[in-house]
């Protein structure tokens, strides 16, 4: 019987070293060897999930088909592996403790004293071992945070125990650590790595492989030194170098022989990785035929990670059209009637993303008006769709006080409102939503079906009448205004199967103007760019060529970051 092999990835010295990218890249290589692979992220924070965390602190919240609000690293995993993940692929300290406390209240522990060891660590091990239920060949588990963090200790203790429970032949420890380059000294420094490994070994975990995050390749002499002081095989020290686009990383690891070493240590089948598709992808990214300038007008622009999946989906749209996509981030709070032309001119396409709260909404509404009146391809996602409905109702229908119930509870014309009763396709039943309930758990989350109108932009993009997309929002388009909006030129091109929920809108007198209530960026991958992003970038290219806007092929700093 097939036994799942487990690879645990830890990090040291500092955060944001790229454990998620390393996990996703290694998973890509193992999948290219013909193995079935799944990945899990264990986050040390106490929140049950990142759903109520500020995007400018934590980055985006990634949503899975089953409605789980998860860490953004799951987006990396899905984009690289091309497989949908679920709630079981992301656990936090909060969710682990909540499960244990619930069991204690229920009497599952028969009155015993509940402790971190064994109860918390056992719960963590159950979460990890659940990945083996589908007989997957390899499960990669990324431990969030940094070795030495107090919050991470139960997770590290749990994986230490699992090594003893399952045996060395089924568990592999990979430690990612920083090897900084000091320009003044003209050399890489290994002390941070040595101290990080020492910290890891002090809690009983001896890494089998060390990944050295560095600006350039670590020399063979330095690898020998790290191997000697950290007690690992000399051929088990690998460079994890900075790359100019993240999709090159699996190829860099392959050149280093990382997948081969992992296969030997875990006794995986001896196969060569077939990376032809990945090599083609990197070639396409490096050799675009043209380029477009896209503006993202949002309120979390101080941290690009807040729009990570969106960022990548736009890059994927460029791949589908053989284009380089230059991204310009604009703070929606800065967009007014006076500044819109100066900030938005020169863009080939405009995208207004999702968000929560009133801050920056006025600028988003003004952006919609500018894109509509100036015939610039417009893509509104979630709140972006809602802002489009608000703008159209105010400026075309003439209802000047039209607003969302989220921002103006007393507005006479609440064109966006909080539905209290709707059909939940996950539960296959009508449900009621309590307006006074906690912030967590009150949203429409996860994959929902949508029926597309034939002859629409959406139908042209998807080529299908029935689709499924992921949602993350509380408010909906108010059906009371749908007939009036349609009479003035809005097409409701996507609806829920029962016709009650507006999923997509378009304009009849615009080159390309589309809004969707769902988040298509969560389902886009480099190997399979999302249809709406493909169509949006194609429309932006047509707009650029018709406007004869000149050359844009010199990549700006923000677009360079989109590949890093």
Say how many C-beta atoms besides its own lie within 10 A of residue 244's C-beta.
11
CA 44 to chain centre: 18
Distance CA 497, CA 448 (A): 10
Q: Per residue in 271-309, is it b (16+ CB within 10 Å) or e — as a string?
A: eebebeebeebbebbeebeebbbbbbbbbbbebbebbbb
Distance CA 425, CA 467 (A): 13
Would you say how long the chain is, in residues?
A: 564
Concatenating the DSSP letter of every residue in 7-33 gives: EEEEE-SSS-S-HHHHHHHHHHHHHHT
- Give the pairing type, strands 466-473 and 444-452: antiparallel
Token output for 178: 């920083």
List Cβ neighbours of 501 (8 Å cut-off, separation of 6 or more): 419, 422, 448, 476, 477, 495, 517
Distance CA 370, CA 90 (A): 40
List Cβ neighbours of 438 (8 Å cut-off, separation of 6 or more): none
Does residue 139 sit in helix, strand or coil?
Answer: strand
Distance CA 289, CA 249 (A): 23
Distance CA 85, CA 30 (A): 17
Catalytic residues: 382, 519, 521
Sheet order of strands, 414-417 included: 403-404, 414-417, 476-477
Token output for 11: 């990090």
Does residue 394 sit in helix, strand or coil?
Answer: helix
Does residue 254 sit in helix, strand or coil?
Answer: helix
Concatenating the DSSP letter of every residue in 432-484 gives: E--TTS-STT-SEEEEEEEEEPTTSHHHHHH--SEEEEEEEES-EE-GGGHHH
Phi/psi at 391 (5° precision)? -60, -45
Q: Which residue's entry shows tokens 């790290």?
A: 226
Token output for 164: 């003893």
Environment class of 454 (CB within 10 Å of its CB; exposed 0-12, middle 13-18, buried 19+)? exposed
List Cβ neighbours of 274 (8 Å cut-off, separation of 6 or more): 32, 33, 34
Closest CA to 141 of 85, 200, 213, 62: 85
- Is the link from the previous residue into 405 a cis peptide, with omega within 30 of 0? no
């Amino acid at each position: 019987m097939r036994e799942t092999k487990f690879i645990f990835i830890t990090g040291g010295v500092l955060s944001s070293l790229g454990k998620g990218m390393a996990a996703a890249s290694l998973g890509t290589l193992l999948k290219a060897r013909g193995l079935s692979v799944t990945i899990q992220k264990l986050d040390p924070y106490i929140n049950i999930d990142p759903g109520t965390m500020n995007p400018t602190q934590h980055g985006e919240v990634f949503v899975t088909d089953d409605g789980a609000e998860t860490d953004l690293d799951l987006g990396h995993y899905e984009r690289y592996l091309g497989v949908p993940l679920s709630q079981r692929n992301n656990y936090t300290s909060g969710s682990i403790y909540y499960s244990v406390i619930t069991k204690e209240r229920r009497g599952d522990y028969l009155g015993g004293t509940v402790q971190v060891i064994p109860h918390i660590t056992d719960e963590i091990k159950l979460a990890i071992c659940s990945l083996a239920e589908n007989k997957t060949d390899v499960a990669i588990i990324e431990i969030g945070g940094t070795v030495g963090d107090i919050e991470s200790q139960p997770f590290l203790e749990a994986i230490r125990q699992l090594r003893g429970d399952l045996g060395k032949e089924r568990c592999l420890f990979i430690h990612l650590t920083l090897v900084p380059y000091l320009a003044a000294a003209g050399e890489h420094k290994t002390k941070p790595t040595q101290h990080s490994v020492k910290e890891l070994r002090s809690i009983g975990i001896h890494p089998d492989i060390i990944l050295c995050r560095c600006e350039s390749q670590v020399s063979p002499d330095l690898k020998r030194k790290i191997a000697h002081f950290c007690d690992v095989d000399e051929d088990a020290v690998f460079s994890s170098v900075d790359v100019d686009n993240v999709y090159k990383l699996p190829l860099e690891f392959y050149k280093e022989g990382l997948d081969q070493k992992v296969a030997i240590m875990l006794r995986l089948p001896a196969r060569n990785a077939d990376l032809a598709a990945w090599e083609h992808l990197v070639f396409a990214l490096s050799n675009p035929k043209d380029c477009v300038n896209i503006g993202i007008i949002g309120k979390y622009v101080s941290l690009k990670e807040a729009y990570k999946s969106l960022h990548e989906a736009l890059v994927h749209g460029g791949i589908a059209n053989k284009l380089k996509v230059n991204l310009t981030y604009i703070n929606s709070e800065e967009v007014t009637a006076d500044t819109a032309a100066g900030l938005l001119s020169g863009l080939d396409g405009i995208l207004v993303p999702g968000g929560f709260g009133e801050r920056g909404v006025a600028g988003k509404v003004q952006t919609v008006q500018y894109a509509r009146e100036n015939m610039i391809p417009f893509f509104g996602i979630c709140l972006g769709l809602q802002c489009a409905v608000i703008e159209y109702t105010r400026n075309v229908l003439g209802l000047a006080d039209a607003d969302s119930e989220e921002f103006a509870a007393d507005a006479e014309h609440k064109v966006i409102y909080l539905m209290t009763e709707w059909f939940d396709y996950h539960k296959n039943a009508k449900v009621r939503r309590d307006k006074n309930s906690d912030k967590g758990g009150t949203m429409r989350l996860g994959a929902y079906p949508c029926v597309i109108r034939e002859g629409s932009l959406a139908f042209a993009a998807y080529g299908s009448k029935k689709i499924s997309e992921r949602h993350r929002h509380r408010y909906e388009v108010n059906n009371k205004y749908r007939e009036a909006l349609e009479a003035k030129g809005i097409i409701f091109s996507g609806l829920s199967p029962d016709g009650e929920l507006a999923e997509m809108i378009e304009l009849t007198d615009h080159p390309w103007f589309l809004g969707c209530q769902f988040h298509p960026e969560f389902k886009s991958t480099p190997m399979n760019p999302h249809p709406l992003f493909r169509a949006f970038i194609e429309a932006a290219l047509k707009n650029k060529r018709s406007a004869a806007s000149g050359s844009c092929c010199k990549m700006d700093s923000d677009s360079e970051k989109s590949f890093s």
